[in-house]
Amino acid sequence: MRLEDNLRDAYNYAAKLLSDLGRLAILIVLSIIPIVNFITFGYFVRVIRESPRNTSPPPLEKYGELWVDGAKVFVVTLVYMIVPVVYAALGISASIVGSFSPFFIGLAAISATLVVIGFILAFFIMIIWIMAIAHMAKTGRLGAAFDFNQILSRIRAIGWPTYILWIVIIFVIGLILAGLSFIPFIGWLITLIISPVFLVFMGRSAAYTYESAAPRA
């Protein structure tokens, strides 16, 4: 897999979403409504499922199917990320407790350590998670997201160095876009608009990566 071809294709594909402002506006609105925003996750799945066969983002239709697919993404993500979330939550809780009393000042160091551990775990789990979601999207089975033999077989066929580099690039792009939210006054609006586009970009790129490898027994 040539990473430059992958990323260029995903960029050109996602850019087409910007030419359909109506669809983009709907995705933005849906993304900010709890539970309903599963539809946007489902759209992410549809992008993966229909790529690289289609050259443009899929139509925004059959909302029930999108919601169900999005709910599957939520369940898979919850299972994969439960441990990092627990570490981060404990770290944040320790930080809050430590801020109330000098007797718990030592909790500040502990909280930072727990949050860092959670962050590191999240990154390593993300390595498997993205391919797990792609495998689920392509097969249409929720259980496929936990078929580690097939998932790891795909990654081995791609090549671990290439795959890890791709993950790092996606991760860094995500961090940069998240950082835009800290721009005073307009950061939240920029993030709101870009988030659906990045989701489509990541879905397309993930599908390209997935299809670049034939499964091994």
Residue 48 domain-assigned (yes or no): yes
Residue 161 domain-assigned (yes or no): yes
Read off the tokens for 45. 């799945």
Question: Can you give the pLDDT at residue 196?
Answer: 94
Read off the tokens for 86. 């627990």
What percent of the chain shows pLDDT beyond 70? 92
| Residue 58, preceding peptide bond in cis (omega within 30° of 0) | no
Q: In this predicted model, which residue has the larger pLDDT, 113 or 95?
A: 113
Question: Can you give the pLDDT at residue 208?
Answer: 95
Residue 200 domain-assigned (yes or no): yes
Residue 182: its H or E element: none
| Residue 215, preceding peptide bond in cis (omega within 30° of 0) | no
Question: Can you give the pLDDT at residue 29?
Answer: 95
Alpha carbons 68 and 87: distance in angstroms, whole number: 29
Tell me the residue range of the domain where 201 lies.
3-77+130-211
pLDDT tens-digit series, residues 152-173: 999 999 999 999 999 999 989 9
Residue 186 domain-assigned (yes or no): yes
Band of the pLDDT at 216, cuts 50, 70, 90? very low
Residue 99 domain-assigned (yes or no): no
Residue 23 domain-assigned (yes or no): yes
Asked if the model's pLDDT at residue 87 lies above 90, the reply is no
Instruction: Taking residues 23-28, report their average pLDDT.
Output: 94
Residue 206 domain-assigned (yes or no): yes
Residue 62 domain-assigned (yes or no): yes
Sign (positive or negative) of CA dihedral 133, 135, 141, 142: negative
Question: Can you give the pLDDT at residue 115?
Answer: 83
How many folded domains does the chain comprise? 1
Average pLDDT, whole number, for the chain? 89
Asked if the model's pLDDT at residue 95 lies above 80, the reply is no
Read off the tokens for 87. 């570490």
Asked if the model's pLDDT at residue 181 lies above 50, the reply is yes
The residue written with tokens 């899929």 in the block is 58
Q: How many CB atoms lie within 10 A of CB 10?
A: 24
